[in-house]
Amino acid sequence: MHPVVLSGVAKHYRMGQVDVPALADIGLEIRANRFTVLAGPSGSGKTTLLNLIGGLDRPSAGQVCIDGADLSTLADDALSDFRARRVGFVFQNFNLLPVLSALENVEYSLILARRPQAERRARARELLAAVGLDDKMHHRPNQLSGGQRQRVAVARALAMRPALVLADEPTANLDSHTGAAIIALMRQMQREHRISFVFSSHDPQVLAAADDAVHLRDGAITHVERRTEDAA
Ligand SMILES: Nc1ncnc2c1ncn2[C@@H]1O[C@H](COP(=O)(O)OP(=O)(O)OP(=O)(O)O)[C@@H](O)[C@H]1O
């Protein structure tokens, strides 16, 4: 099963009297357990598409189905609940809560989901160890480097065992060496946790690491490259 299927998706933004078309007639199947990159020049619609896939915004037309659920049929509460349980997010500016430690940042979504304390603490520790931060669990974000902050964000995105992790330009604020390490980490996490990762990126290193690349231009898909076979 494809975890994400988009059909006939369009998005227009309204700016006063002006209608700004951002995406038109998008049909796309994102494969399960793959690393997919949305690539294209600035303004081509990458972030808009990622926001629709993650249920952060709604399409002007068409359907977005994740894990068999048609997001357009969900009311706002159900949509945010779905997002919290099934989708992990990684942002270019990390978006960690500054007053919380690395451990608490990873644990936070599990607290909101009312998981028992022992379980959520164990899960957060396990994930921080997996991203190489065993010795930094009690550091706050301003006591961590950019690369370490993004490692915390990756651990946080995985905490709820999502079906899908979305990352908007995750290496944009990192130097190329640190960016390469984060890509390798995300690749490893994607394989170990057997989930689908979808990125938007300009970064050739991210594009080179992808199984599938979706090329966008002027709000439309120009072509999709599938670089690995479907599993037998
Ligand atoms: N909130 C908004 N209101 C109005 N227009 C918007 C809004 N967000 C995006 N747009 C427009 O939609 C189009 C697609 O923007 P989008 O941010 O999705 O592109 P992008 O490929 O992610 O660009 P970048 O690589 O620069 O982040 C652009 O023309 C942009 O100006």
Task: Report percent pLDDT > 90 for the chain.
Answer: 69
pLDDT digits (tens, 9 = 90+) for 91-146: 888 899 999 999 999 999 899 889 999 999 999 999 999 999 999 999 999 999 99
- Looking at ligand 1, which residue's alpha carbon is closest to its atom 30? 43
pLDDT digits (tens, 9 = 90+) for 208-220: 989 999 999 999 9
Mutate to test the pocket of ligand 1, among 17, 46, 92, 169 (most ligand atoms within 8 A of CB): 46
CB 96 within 8 A of CB 153: yes
Residue 10 C-alpha to ligand 1 middle, in angstroms?
A: 13
What ipTM goes with this model?
0.96
Residue 188 C-alpha to ligand 1 middle, in angstroms?
A: 30
Residue 41 C-alpha to ligand 1 middle, in angstroms?
A: 11
Give the confidence band of 2 by pLDDT, cuts at 50, 70, 90: low
**Contact partners, residue 2, CB within 8 Å, separation at least 6:** 29, 30, 31, 32
Average pLDDT value for the chain: 91
- In whole angstroms, give the CA distance from residue 162 to residue 93: 21
Q: CA gyration radius for the chain?
A: 18
pLDDT digits (tens, 9 = 90+) for 8-53: 999 999 999 999 999 999 999 999 999 999 999 999 999 999 999 9
Residues with CB under 6 A from ligand 1: 13, 15, 20, 22, 40, 42-48, 200
